[in-house]
Structure 1
Amino acid sequence: MTHRVLILGGQGRIGSSVARDLATYTSAEITVTGRSLRAPLDSPLQFLPLNLEDIPRLRQAIKNCHLVVHCAGPFHHRDGRVLKICIEEGVNYLDVSDHRSFFQKVVAYREAAAEAGITAILNTGIFPGISNSMVRQGVEQLDSADTIHLSYVVAGSGGAGITVMRTTFLGLRQPFEAWRNGQWQSVLPYTERETIEFPQPYGKTGVYWFDVPETYTFAESFPGVKNVITKFGSIPDLYNHLTWITAHIFPASWVESPKGIEFFSHVSYAMTAVTDRFSGVGVAMRAEIRGRKNGQATTHCSTFVHKNTAVSAGMGTGSVAQLVLDGTLKKPGLWSIEQALPTDLFERAMESRGLMIQQSAQSVKRGQSPQPPSP
């Protein structure tokens, strides 16, 4: 049987990357949606004009497929209508959602998804996505984990489009709750700069607190963990300083208004169109898990690098979609990616795409402070 996949927002940078990955690794019939066709599609992709506000037409599109992949961000303003229809029609669901507000909206559908027998997985992609599975991989290497420190850095635009720029600016001015010392504490985005050493070609660069769904889901996924730190930065470092100024110096009325967000997003996108030529559009991630192994304090560190952020996001989501389509990954209910994807399947998926996760661990003798190993 040929599986039918519907990719909402499939003409965007992330959605099109997911479509290309599925076309490469599966024989599925793939339909991508958008308000209008922007450019001719490569075979075997098909196009369906669709507005997500048109509920009857959306329902008809969903009921005719086996899997829906929701890539139509930004997810700050999305509700759970797509997931709700998937549950009602018995269709499996994945998304590339990247904000906790969306998770908090759709978590109410957990029981309904389980009763419908569909597999619904949130936060697939690169970060969140591959990053979440790196953390699960590291936590499972220890007897107990106390602290998760997850850092990301993106070069230039990351190969993504204007929607990702909007996502960044939408989250700049709002304090968020972070899991620190076993309780929720308010944190301001783009504060507490740290210098993290990422693998080459990125090396040492600055990262800052940033509101991502991992901050929220890890506290649930790994109940023994007392601290979840999630920090993000850009290359070149000039963008970090400009973003900090936007977050902390400019009047809130400029940054928080729809017109302001559009202005900053388009200016940033224009700037990266120039700097991408020498910075590249890659991504690096570093997951550091601190805990205990065989009675000793131990730090587990894993790193990931890819030359194109959008392409690697497509691989992250596409590999999960492939597992769902072939029946290897079947977990009725609604889950974040680290809750749904076992580590052995994650490692197999990464290997199938030629993606490498570098891992190392360091035990620390009693009386000494853990020092993370070099990536």
Structure 2
Amino acid sequence: MANRVLIVGGRGRIGSSVAQDILTYTDAEITVTGRDPNGSLPAELPSDRSRYLALDLADSAALRQAVSSSNLVVHCAGPFHYRDAGVLKTCIEAGVNYTDVSDSRSFTRRALDCRELAKNAGVTAIINTGIFPGVSNSMVRRDVEQLDTAEHIHLSYVVGGSGGAGVTVMRTTFLGLQTPFDVLVDGKLQQIKPYTDRETIEFPAPYGKTGVYWFDMPEAITLPETFPVKTVITKFGTSPDLYNHLTWFVAKYWPDSWLKNNSVIEFLSYVSYGMTSVTNNFSGVGVAVRSQVSGIKNGQPAKVRSTAVHPNAATATGIGTGSIAQLMLEGKLTKPGVWSVEQALSTELFEGAMQSRNLNIEQVFL
């Protein structure tokens, strides 16, 4: 019998990208869920191996039934700032493996709190598996492995326009402006305000030199847990640069009460999405990731830098999560517990998955 994969929130652009990757690289049958009782499969998914299921995550009985009928659950129903770990806990109770595209620090903490429950149940749960976080984590792991001692990690990301995703991605950006966050710098935790400390980073073409800003990402908590480093920096920017300046202005000058108001977040998200629908025509919808790890090699200071670029950020997310799903379905990625990508995925498996999907990652010593 074919594997059965349940993709929660699979009708969105991220979820459908994940579904397409799984259908391409496995023989699994896909069930995609959405809240609309009259919903249907995304047009790009083949009906012979896919079906649509109306599912309200608040309906625990329906969720349990859907999970129990699956070999793997992929959670794509963001924004994850709003999500508890209910889907993960349901998977643990049902003994079903789990992965997700989560990108929220608070959700990551809630998921990691379930580590012992998952381990005791023999359930493998891999979180934060998209492009960033996700592929970015594995890029860091591969860079760290090139050094005798890793000390500083600097991760930077840039997305063109909407990234080929829906309005949910816009919500995620503005939700990330709501509160300061802790980061590890020179061995000490520091509290950072979001979208501050602009830095110009050289990304691969077509982005070139692009401004990036502090942004709250799950890697900021999982990488120090995985590697004994002194500093982890996570910075994010957009193209065209106009959006960086507008987001910086909102983060710096708008009252906290506005940024924590759901109506304001919705307004900003839809306005931004409308703007990118125009600028996507010249900015593109791609993504670039740069990992730079500094440390010691053969007794001397050394740096390793990796870069990856893809013309569609939503598709790249599908590659990250789909490759993890494939490895889990094939039994090549089995590690009971809850883990971030760099904690569970070997560099050998990572390189093989990226090569099979033609996602080229350049690595250089500096």
Q: TM-score range by the shorter chain?
A: over 0.9
Count, aligned residues? 361
> 2:287·2:313 contact (CA, 8 Å) conserved in 1?
yes
- Tell me the residue number matched to 2:24: 24
- Give deviations 1:315-342, integer Å, cap 9, x for gaps: 1100110000011111111101110100
Q: Please give the root-mean-square deviation of Cα atoms over the aligned residues, in Å.
A: 0.9
| CA 40–318 in structure 1, closer or farther in 2 if over 3 Å, else same | closer
Cα drift, residue 105 of structure 1 = 1.3
Q: How does 1:271-350 map to 2 (within 5 A)?
A: 271-350=275-354
- Tell me the residue number matched to 1:4: 4
- Tell me the residue number matched to 1:162: 167
Does residue 58 of structure 1 match 2:63?
A: yes
> 2:181·2:191 contact (CA, 8 Å) conserved in 1?
yes
Q: Which amino acid aligns with 1:251?
A: P
Cα drift, residue 310 of structure 1 = 0.3
Does residue 34 of structure 1 match 2:38?
A: no
- Give deviations 1:2-54, integer Å, cap 9, x for gaps: 10000000001110000011111111010000012156543122100000000
Does residue 236 of structure 1 match 2:240?
A: yes
Q: How does 1:190-205 map to 2 (within 5 A)?
A: 190-205=195-210
- Tell me the residue number matched to 1:367: none
Unaligned runs of 5+ in 1: 363-375
- Tell me the residue number matched to 2:141: 136
Quick one: which of 86, 90, 96 aligns to 1:91? 96
For the residues of structure 2 that align with 1:88 and 1:263, how far apart are their CA atoms?
Answer: 38
- Give deviations 1:97-128, integer Å, cap 9, x for gaps: 10110011122211111111111001001000
For the residues of structure 2 that align with 1:5 and 1:103, how far apart are their CA atoms?
Answer: 22
For the residues of structure 2 that align with 1:40 and 1:11, how far apart are their CA atoms?
Answer: 6
For the residues of structure 2 that align with 1:154 and 1:204, how far apart are their CA atoms?
Answer: 13
Cα drift, residue 129 of structure 1 = 0.4
- Give deviations 1:262-310, integer Å, cap 9, x for gaps: 0000000000000000100000111000001111100000000000000
SS in 2 for 1:191: coil
Q: Which amino acid aligns with 1:61?
A: A
Q: Which amino acid aligns with 2:272?
A: S
| CA 130–145 in structure 1, closer or farther in 2 if over 3 Å, else same | same
Quick one: which of 222, 227, 231 aligns to 1:222? 227
Q: Which amino acid aligns with 1:302?
A: S
Q: How does 1:59-74 map to 2 (within 5 A)?
A: 59-74=64-79
- Give deviations 1:52-92, integer Å, cap 9, x for gaps: 00000000000010000000011111111111111111000
Q: Which amino acid aligns with 1:252?
A: D
- Tell me the residue number matched to 1:372: none
Name the TM-score, length of structure 2 as normaliser. Answer: 0.97
For the residues of structure 1 that align with 2:253 and 2:190, how far apart are their CA atoms?
Answer: 23
